[in-house]
């Protein structure tokens, strides 16, 4: 009976920690933060020596000196820092004995099943439009205010295109490529209709919501923390995203002769 109790206890810790770690990676967390949160949950639950190995595509964890081991794969990596903060807050509440392990597990699995609210698409689209327009002004030394609404509109359309196309393909970076092609086509068309507009200014702002700035930042933070493998993987992922965006722009400009 005691062995069955221990087995349930260790599996509860493993299930909770691995799911929490998976959610944090999917939310865009750094690897060292994922490890820290998982170790905190395990130690707070009563396991003195949890062993965790985290990379952007998977998590490995063992308890009781290696007698209980599990792993989990991570296929999606997005940006949702509220999700990362929520999981981290749950681990700290457990460490402070404000909640129990069972409560943490229930909340983590609720989030994993889609129980964590995210911003609606229309609000994200407005954010993409504002970001595109304001960053266009910031980055371009020579711009005209006529490009301001164009950058906002093209950036919003590109973001929506990326969001929907990503749902229908399992080929990574293809959504970024297609979104960049759509944005470039619209930008070139606007410039032909309104010659006062500047294609470079519009695209500089419109592409910003899809540029992997957070991924590069997290990659450098992982490298500085000594997580060399995770850092290099994230840098490669960010570079491939950048190449996809640049390739989409280049293909359209090449064929349209812009």
| pLDDT value at residue 144 | 67
Report residue 242 CA to chain centroid gap. 15
- pLDDT-derived band at 258, boundaries 50, 70, 90: low
| pLDDT value at residue 195 | 86
| Paired strand residues for 55 | 58
% of the chain residues with pLDDT over 70: 95
- pLDDT-derived band at 1, boundaries 50, 70, 90: very low
Over residues 224-249, the mean pLDDT reads 88
| pLDDT value at residue 136 | 87
Please give the mean pLDDT across all residues of the chain.
Answer: 87
- As a whole number of angstroms, the longest Cα–Cα distance in the chain is 80
| pLDDT value at residue 115 | 66
Contacts of residue 88, defined as CB under 8 A and 6 or more positions apart, other chains included, come to 24, 33, 37
| pLDDT value at residue 219 | 85
| Domain boundaries of the chain, sorted by first residue | 2-115, 121-256
Report yes or no: 222 and 195 within 8 Å, Cβ to Cβ.
no
Between 105 and 142, the more confident residue is: 105
Q: Which two tokens stand for residue 74?
A: 């991570």
What does the pLDDT look like over 38-79, one tens digit per residue? 999 999 988 888 999 988 888 999 998 888 899 999 888 888
Three-state DSSP at 119 gives coil
d(CA 254, CA 24): 40
What does the pLDDT look like over 185-208, one tens digit per residue? 999 999 998 888 888 889 988 999
Between 8 and 177, the more confident residue is: 177
d(CA 212, CA 98): 37
- Report the length, in residues, of the chain: 258
Pick from 213, 226, 171, 208: which is nearest to 81 by CA?
Answer: 213
Over residues 96-110, the mean pLDDT reads 91
Q: What is the pTM of this model?
A: 0.82
Three-state DSSP at 98 gives coil
Report yes or no: 208 and 135 within 8 Å, Cβ to Cβ.
yes
| pLDDT value at residue 56 | 86
b/e string for 4-37 if b means 16 or more Cβ within 10 A?
Answer: eeeeebbeebbebbbbbbbbbbbbbbbbbbbbbb
| pLDDT value at residue 60 | 94
Three-state DSSP at 258 gives coil
């Amino acid at each position: 009976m005691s062995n069955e109790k221990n087995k349930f206890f260790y599996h509860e810790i493993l299930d909770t920690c691995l799911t929490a770690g998976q959610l944090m990676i999917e939310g865009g967390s750094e690897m060292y933060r994922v490890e820290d949160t998982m170790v905190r949950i395990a130690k707070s639950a009563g396991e003195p020596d949890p062993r965790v190995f985290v990379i952007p595509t998977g998590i490995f964890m063992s308890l009781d000196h290696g007698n209980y081991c599990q792993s989990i794969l991570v296929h999606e990596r997005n940006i949702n820092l509220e999700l990362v903060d929520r999981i981290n807050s749950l681990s700290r509440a457990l460490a402070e004995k404000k909640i129990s392990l069972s409560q943490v597990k229930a909340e983590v699995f609720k989030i994993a099943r889609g129980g964590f609210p995210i911003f609606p698409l229309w609000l994200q689209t407005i954010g993409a439009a504002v970001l595109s327009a304001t960053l266009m002004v910031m980055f371009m030394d020579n711009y005209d205010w006529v490009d301001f609404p164009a950058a906002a509109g093209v950036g919003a359309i590109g973001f929506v295109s990326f969001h929907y196309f990503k749902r229908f393909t399992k080929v990574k970076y293809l959504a970024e490529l297609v979104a960049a092609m759509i944005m470039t086509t619209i930008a070139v068309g606007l410039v032909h209709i309104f010659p006062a507009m500047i294609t470079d200014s519009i695209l500089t702002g419109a592409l910003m919501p899809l540029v992997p700035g957070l991924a590069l930042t997290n990659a450098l933070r992982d490298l500085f923390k000594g997580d060399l493998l995770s850092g290099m993987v994230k840098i490669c992922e960010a570079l491939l995203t950048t190449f996809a965006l640049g390739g989409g722009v280049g293909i359209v400009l090449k064929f349209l002769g812009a």
